Structure 1
Amino acid sequence: MLKIFFILVLVLQSLWGNFSRTNVTVIDRKFNLMWQDNYEVASKTFTHREGLAYCKSLTLGGYNDWRMPTIKELETIVDKTNEPNHIYRVFRHIKPDGYWASDTLWRSLNFYAWYMNFLSGTPYYYNRVYHKYVRCVRNI
């Protein structure tokens, strides 16, 4: 019985690694981040500007210091072995689509922003006026 328990613990650790979850968040102990993981993450889309404002005004899990993640932070939750959504399995709410990052850039007279496409697990950039999903984050 004790062997089964230890095997189960090892399997869960390999699936979730440095992550743990609450009802509405995922905690990443490796990078000291808390990620939003509720129904809204997969049900609402925003322009980049709307997404920045949404995260800034979000109150979730008793916290109100949420922000839009950087593209580097979004890369830390990509799991290319998990298909069709290339995100760690600890995350319950996901659309296989683009999620805005806070990073911006100029290209050919347009203002663009980076986003993570969780269908491919690859970062791209797109015009900020278009709608993408948003997964807010906070430092812990």
Structure 2
Amino acid sequence: MRPIRLLSIPLALLAGLAVAQECVDWDAAPMPDPRYIPIQNGTVYDRSTRLMWKQCPEGAAGVGCTAGEPQTFKLEEAKRRARDWRFAGYADWRLPTQDELRSLLLQRCHGVGIDGVTFPRTPAGRFWTSDPATYYPDSAWTLDFRRGHLGYGTPREAFYVRLVRDAEACSPARPATCLPYSERRLEPHDGREPGAEGGNDQVDP
């Protein structure tokens, strides 16, 4: 009986097959991703991570994020905006961690991306995270949505911002994270700064 000869497949080819199974071409990508639940108040709930995201990058607003333009912020400006921002009835918005922001990346066969239906007008650029860059004083890590690379930003640099919150944090047990009813009625949902709303612009909760 002749010995059975096993096929020899180069490791590089196997690696290529593995990548081909894990990545998705742009045209074939399922959008919107069913893990996301868009809410009509301008937020998105992620069933996978249980986080609530502000649908628009800071600076953009409205349906489809068509109002305004995505803006870049220096690190302290980004932190202050997250700390002071009131949106969709919540007062506990913050900058995301590296892992939280990376969870939005959509792996492609050529580069990275994001679900552009759920998160429209996301710039292919660097976004701030809340994680400090340990070896660089007063700086923080950033995530590049063009290449998927982590980097660090210095206080003098300005990058994009997408805010997040812990979706289950607002509860009777932690009432400080929820805006009171009177404040929710006057809260703008079109991206204006707090305090810029007029008397005829009330938004029902």
Aligned counterpart in structure 2 of residue 26 of structure 1, from 25, 44, 67: 44
* Cα drift, residue 48 of structure 1: 0.8
Aligned counterpart in structure 2 of residue 96 of structure 1, from 102, 124, 142: 124
Q: Which residue of 2 aligns with 1:36?
A: 54
Give the whole-Å Cα distance in 1 for the aligned partners of 2:110 and 2:81: 28
Q: Which amino acid in structure 2 is aligned with residue 34 of structure 1?
A: M
- Taking structure 1 as the reference length, what is the TM-score of the superposition? 0.79
* Cα drift, residue 76 of structure 1: 0.5
Where do 5+ consecutive residues of structure 2 fail to align?
Answer: 1-27, 61-68, 168-205
Q: Which amino acid in structure 1 is aligned with residue 122 of structure 2?
A: I
Q: Which residue of 1 aligns with 2:34?
A: 17
Which protein, 1 or 2, shows the higher relative CO under an 8 Å CA cutoff with sep ≥ 6? Answer: 1
* Cα drift, residue 83 of structure 1: 7.4
Give the whole-Å Cα distance in 2 for the aligned partners of 1:33 and 1:57: 19
Q: Which has the higher strand share?
A: 1
Give the whole-Å Cα distance in 2 for the aligned partners of 1:12 and 1:27: 20
Q: Which residue of 2 aligns with 1:5?
A: none
Aligned length: 129
- Taking structure 2 as the reference length, what is the TM-score of the superposition? 0.56
What's the RMSD between the two structures over aligned residues? Answer: 2.6
* Cα drift, residue 66 of structure 1: 0.3
Q: Which amino acid in structure 1 is aligned with residue 105 of structure 2?
A: V
Of stretches 50-59 and 23-32 in structure 1, the one that deviates more from structure 2 is 23-32
Change (3 A) 1:139 1:82: farther
Aligned counterpart in structure 2 of residue 80 of structure 1, from 77, 83, 107: 107
* Cα drift, residue 26 of structure 1: 1.6
Alignment of 1:129 with 2:147, yes or no, is no
Matched ranges for 1:113-124 at <5 A = 113-124=140-151
For the 8 Å contact 2:56–2:162, the answer to whether it is kept is no
* Cα drift, residue 17 of structure 1: 3.3
Where do 5+ consecutive residues of structure 1 fail to align?
Answer: 1-10
Q: Which has the higher helix share?
A: 1
* Cα drift, residue 110 of structure 1: 4.2
